[in-house]
Amino acid sequence: MEIVFQIEMNLVAAMRGQYCRSERLLWASVSVKAVIYLATLAIAVWSDPTAAAVLLVVACVGQACLYVLRFATQNHLALAERLRRLAMLRDGVGREVVPLEAAILAEKVWNAAKLDQPDPYYSSKLPKGPKRLIDVTAECAFFSGSIGAAAGRVFQVASVAATSVLVLSLVLLIVLGVTQSRLEISAKVVLIGVTFWMTEDLVDMAFKYRSLGSSCERILQECSRLLDQVNPSVEDAYVVLHDYDAAVAGAPPLPSLIYRKRNARLTEIWQATHPRTTAKSA
């Protein structure tokens, strides 16, 4: 079956395809959040009851769309992580995809993405075994940590900007709302409070990306210690891989735009400071 062949022979392409889908869904959900955010602010400052009612419906529909988008994002992201782990194990220790797992993946990944990628995808030149798996994990942690830290800074700025707009809106509402009844003002303050609660999603994403960066730094230190050993054990290799799995599982999809902008420089740094490999990408 062609799709089974694609998954078995090109795990990286299937992995990147799932990551791309999860990222597109993530940005779609961010766009929906922005619409809800603007609609809620408009409800708070707009005195026309008909317009306010329409905007309220838009906000409610947007919340339902957010639920669907988040569910779909997590599904694609979980599958991408599963494929990434299989790709790292095959490249690191030569473990091939067993037929049963290939059949399961064939049912889930119905088309592998046609994406340009380096060959080999992981740049380690060590022979297959525990040490190579540790080397591959270190390469992934280096790239993921740097991109995650950069994404954390971007979302931190976005969350500060969104919060500033909300605080300004609240101040203006109180200052300019002297002609409105206390009930109207209270209702609009509650709406702004709900919107403020929604902006915590941006804060949460910023913290998750920054946490990924910090975790990857610790993983890199552990990989460096293990690579200094002559023959690290298989158990140590699997433990550090599990640590990396846990780190990336707790973060949203890494933004491809940041990856493309930083990839060349990160590759140059990795090649210059990591003599075990000739890095191309991660």
Q: Over the stretch 89-133, which tens digit does the pLDDT of each residue have? A: 888 888 887 777 777 777 777 555 554 455 567 888 888 899 999
Is 282 inside any structural domain? Answer: no
pLDDT at site 141: 93
pLDDT tens for 196-226 read 555 557 788 889 999 999 999 999 999 999 9
Mean of the per-residue pLDDT values of the chain: 78
- Residue 4's pLDDT band, with cuts at 50, 70 and 90, is very low
Give the C-alpha separation, 144 to 273, whole Å.
17
Is 225 inside any structural domain? Answer: yes
pLDDT at site 67: 81
pLDDT at site 38: 74
Give, as one character, the DSSP assignment of residue 118. Answer: -
Is 280 inside any structural domain? Answer: no
pLDDT at site 45: 63
Q: Could you give the C-alpha distances from 172 to 164, 168, 169, 191, 234, in angstroms and in order?
A: 12, 6, 5, 14, 62
Is 281 inside any structural domain? Answer: no
- pLDDT greater than 90 at residue 150: yes
Is 278 inside any structural domain? Answer: no
- Tokens 């140590």 map to which residue? 236
Is 139 inside any structural domain? Answer: yes
CA-based end-to-end distance of the chain: 29
Q: Which carries the bigger pLDDT value, residue 178 or residue 270? A: 270
Q: Which carries the bigger pLDDT value, residue 60 or residue 3? A: 60
Is 279 inside any structural domain? Answer: no
Contact indicator for 220, 145 with CB cutoff of 8 Å:
yes
Is 217 inside any structural domain? Answer: yes
Residue span of the structural domain in which 182 resides: 2-273
- pLDDT greater than 50 at residue 185: yes
| Cis peptide bond prior to 252, omega within 30° of 0 | no
Phi, psi angles (nearest 5°) of residue 124: -60, 140
Q: State how many domains the chain has.
A: 1
